[in-house]
Amino acid sequence: MHWPFSKSNIGPMLVLALLVVSLLGPWGFVERINVPAQYDCNPPWIRLEGDFCGMTYTGLEMIGLGGSALAALAEGQASSSIGVRDIFAALAIVLLITLLLLPYIITLVRLLTGDRRPGSGFSLAAWGLAAAAGALIMMSDPSQPAHLKWGLWLLTGLALVMLVVEARRLWMARRSLLA
């Protein structure tokens, strides 16, 4: 069995640590409430803009949101009270969350198996899809302050960096095969 805490795994361990930090950071806001500007927003609510306060949700809570969407979808299908639009909305949430979780899975597998091979097409696609999903979520509500979604920014930025790293590893491996 491979020991994941070896010197050769420092890079993947650092990536996994940053992924965990991004999962614990805020990704968006649950709801917005109208609170006049002369009043403070009480914790855990924070001032978003003008007369609005919001409560952040983390990446972990977003995973729970995906599970809730699936449960609501199953319940609505069972009672035949769900429309096509609701089905697509729930499936879109689950798909985006799944795409954002791919880097976690790839990094864990790479750590646990001791995979030192150059980048594969699958890992390249996973990092690219995670970057695209993160960017799509960030663009879905431009009225929310971007600096208050640092967890999602960290994940998307890390996905972009790792996309370049994996592409370079794959290119170098192909180039060494041809030489």
pLDDT at 119: 60
pTM of the predicted model as reported, rounded to 2 decimal places: 0.81
**Residue recorded with tokens 């109208």:** 34
Residue 121 is classified by DSSP as H
Residue 102 CB neighbours (<10 A): 19
How far is Cα 25 from Cα 148, in angstroms, rounded to an integer? 9
Cβ atoms 159, 131 nearer than 8 A = yes
pLDDT at 27: 86
pLDDT at 6: 57
pLDDT at 176: 78
pLDDT at 151: 92
Residue 18 CB neighbours (<10 A): 18
Tens of each residue's pLDDT in the chain, 179 residues: 445 555 667 888 899 999 999 999 988 877 778 888 888 888 878 887 778 888 888 889 888 877 887 777 777 665 666 677 777 877 888 888 899 999 999 888 888 887 766 567 888 899 999 999 999 988 887 777 777 789 999 999 999 999 998 888 888 887 877 76
Cβ atoms 23, 159 nearer than 8 A = no
